[in-house]
Amino acid sequence: MGNATSIEIYCNQAPHQIEAARIFDEGLARHGIKVQIKSPHEPRCADLAVVWGHRYTYLHQRDYLVMECGYIGDRMQNISLGFNGLNGRATFPRPNGEDRAGQWKRKLKHFHFGQYVLIMGQCPGDASIPGLDVGVWAEEAAVEVRKHVGHEIYFRPHPLQNIQTSLPQKSGDLANALAHAHLVVTYNSNSGVDAILAGCPVVAYDRGSMVYDLASHDGSYKVPADRGDWLQRISYCQWSRDEILTGKAWEVLYESWKSTQSDHTAA
């Protein structure tokens, strides 16, 4: 598998990037694929670049595979792997019949009618929200939501940032906040995933959201029809470290990549 494929893995000196590069390298080695691990500042030569995050745009001149935090469960232990984009803009493998969703040990809770609306903050400067002023967006989103929903609206700041808005804030335990929320409003935050799992409808303004297809996009309340299919699809968007280390992840990723290349050739 993939012996004619040249692959380079790019990582900086951050411990989580070094570890992710190591286990991906070992997983490829189990398929007989030798790779180079390079600094993101070195020139690219390979057919496929594997890189943590989405900041090194010069790597993207050909196909690339983005490693990032997972979406369900322990986000640092599970790693998302998608081609040619970040989060909802990436191309992920399609489910191939294996039920992978159960391994994340997260059950879908019934939808509930809560007491308030939560607008979720994000980290300014994050690669998923280039150029977005989170405070301004939150204020504008609140105006839009008030056209559709009469509940009180709170802003929930990201734990790593303290964005100032005129909205009252609600912090504390996320699971408890979601359990009592009527609606969760995001730009493309992963808290949308947590909300869908918790049975809370979501507004997602950006298609980079991993719940974009299940969400409304105008501030209105929408209960998605089938979360089971979504849960199976997102289970093919992230992989445990063991699955990457043993090469199982690459088996599925390679078939997806090969299929995408075939589609481009046919087009």
Contact 119, 185 (CB under 8 A): yes
| pLDDT of 4 | 54
Integer angstrom CA distances of residue 21 from 5, 26, 34, 79, 97: 17, 9, 13, 11, 28
Instruction: Let me know whether 80 and 160 are in one domain.
Output: no
The string of pLDDT tens digits covering residues 109-140 is 999 889 999 999 998 878 898 888 999 999 99
Instruction: Let me know whether 124 and 226 are in one domain.
Output: yes
Q: For 202-223, give one letter per residue: b (16+ CB within 10 A) or e.
A: bbbbbebbbbbebbbeebebee
Torsion of Cα atoms, 59 then 61 then 62 then 63, to 10°:
60
Instruction: Let me know whether 23 and 86 are in one domain.
Output: yes
| pLDDT of 72 | 92
Residue 106 covered by a domain: no
Instruction: Give all strands (DSSP E) within 73-165, no chain letters.
Output: 78-83, 116-120, 152-156
d(CA 70, CA 176): 21
A 10 A CB-CB count for 90 gives 20
Instruction: Let me know whether 189 and 247 are in one domain.
Output: no
Spans of the chain below 70 pLDDT: 1-4, 105, 261-267
Instruction: Let me know whether 88 and 15 are in one domain.
Output: yes
Residue 172 covered by a domain: yes
**199 is in which domain, residue-wise?**
116-231
Residue 2 covered by a domain: no
Residue 132 covered by a domain: yes
Instruction: Let me know whether 215 and 146 are in one domain.
Output: yes
Instruction: Let me know whether 213 and 259 are in one domain.
Output: no
The H-assigned helical ranges of 124-201 are 134-146, 174-179, 191-197
The string of pLDDT tens digits covering residues 43-82 is 999 999 999 999 887 777 789 999 999 999 888 889 999 9
Burial of 265 (0-12, 13-18, 19+ CB in 10 A): exposed
Instruction: Let me know whether 207 and 247 are in one domain.
Output: no
Output the six-digit token pair for 160. Answer: 């790593």
Residue 120 covered by a domain: yes
| pLDDT of 156 | 93
| pLDDT of 79 | 97
Contact 182, 116 (CB under 8 A): yes
Instruction: Let me know whether 71 and 129 are in one domain.
Output: no
Residue 63 covered by a domain: yes
- For residue 25, the domain's CATH number is 3.40.50
| pLDDT of 58 | 72
Residue 103 covered by a domain: no
Domain count, the chain: 2
